[in-house]
Amino acid sequence: MNDLRQCCLAAMVYSLLLAMPPWCQGEDLPSAESVLDRYVEATGGKAAHEKLTNRVTHGIVQIAAIKLSGKATIYEAAPNKNYTAIEIQGLGTMEHGCDGNNSWERNPFEGTRLHTGQEKEHHLANALFNGDVHWRKMYKTYKCVGTEEVNGKLCYKLELETQDGSKHEKFFEKATGLLLLWKTTVKTSRMDVPTESYLDQYRKVDGVLVPHEVKLKQLSQEITITVDKIEHNVKLPADRFDLPADLKKKVDG
């Protein structure tokens, strides 16, 4: 804390340094590139990641504070397809998908809805399979701006911007190189939802380290996703990522 105060004082005195975040003063920060590359290595290395062409994740979604839970199944495939189904007791199944060209969602309240505008751009920009390995394709700007503690662990803080202009902050643990916190804003047609994702319980599956617990803080709620099982390179049905029939009809015109 004293160091920080001294840094702030120095920043006040030496106006030339005002443009720099105070916590950077005197710190020898690595480049963003090296932090991002180190994360790939820490989670198994590029070669191990690139052996994977698709992934199926099974887990549980819990909103403990209000006693709701559900089952989540997530399909991802290269280069940029995904489909998620979350079944919540009393609410039904919330689905989301991206076939590489279009993204959509379906729920018992609204039926199906094709994403358009910034919502579509946002989902397409974030759909890249193994995006962490191919981070150079995902991010158009990236910089390491300092260090911060996340749950008592010292992390490098990176500020990144994806191709659609979305801003992200990622916190990689200094000791292990692992990603512990990701702050971003999920864009929907209704609102931009500020979201904090805390990643924990990294375990090796098929040669790569994967977090098995993610705590999301968004919309005044804490949602926990606990991963039960992860499968890679699974034979998926050919239509797994197809749009729902009514949306396909709409898109095909």
Partner 1 sequence: MMFVKWLPLSVVGLCIWLLIHPGACLQGEAQEPPLSAQARAKNLESFDFVWTTIRDKHWDPKLGGLDWDKVREELRPKMAEVQSMSEARAILKDMIARLKLSHFGIMAQEELESLDHSSSSKGQGSDASGGDGDVGLEFRILEGKAIVTRVEKNLPADRQGVKMGWEIVSIDGDAIAPLIERIGKSKRISHLGYIQYRVVANRLEGSVGSKANLVFRNGADEEVKVELERVAPRGKKAQFGHMPTIHVRFEAKVLEPNVVYASLNTFFDPLSVMPQLEKLIKENQEAKGFILDLRGNPGGIGFMAVGIGGWFAQKDDMKLGTMYTRDGTMHFILNPRTPSYQGPLAILVDAESASTSEILAGGLQDLGRARVFGTTTMGAALPSVITKLPNGDGFQYAFANYISFRGAALEGRGVIPDQEVKLDRATLLQGRDPVIEAALDWIKEQAKK
Choose which of 1, 2, 67, 237 interacts with partner 1 (CB under 8 A): 67
Q: Which of left, alpha, beta for 233 (phi over 0: left; psi -120 to 50: alpha)?
A: left
| DSSP state for residue 244 in the 8-state scheme | P
Q: Which of left, alpha, beta for 52 (phi over 0: left; psi -120 to 50: alpha)?
A: beta
Stretch binding partner 1 (CB under 8 A), from 19-27, 32-40, 96-104, 141-149: 96-104
Q: Is 71 in the site for partner 1 (CB under 8 A)?
A: no
Burial category of 88 from C-beta neighbours within 10 Å (exposed 0-12, middle 13-18, buried 19 and up): middle
Q: Give whichever of 6 and 221 is closer to partner 1, judged by the CB atom.
A: 221
Q: Give whichever of 7 and 214 is closer to partner 1, judged by the CB atom.
A: 214
Choose which of 36, 155, 211, 241 interacts with partner 1 (CB under 8 A): 211
Cβ atoms of 153 and 173 closer than 8 Å:
yes
Q: Give whichever of 155 and 205 is closer to partner 1, judged by the CB atom.
A: 205
Question: For tokens 């010292």, what's the residue?
Answer: 154
Choose which of 4, 12, 51, 111 interacts with partner 1 (CB under 8 A): 111
What track of x and - describes contact with partner 1 for positions 118 through 157 (by CB under 8 A)? Answer: -----x--xx---xx-------------------------
Q: Give dist(CA 111, CA 116) in Å, integer.
A: 16
Q: Is 236 in the site for partner 1 (CB under 8 A)?
A: no
Cβ atoms of 132 and 42 closer than 8 Å:
no
Stretch binding partner 1 (CB under 8 A), from 18-26, 89-97, 142-150, 236-244: 89-97
Q: Give dist(CA 32, CA 38) in Å, integer.
A: 10
Choose which of 17, 195, 232, 248 interacts with partner 1 (CB under 8 A): 195
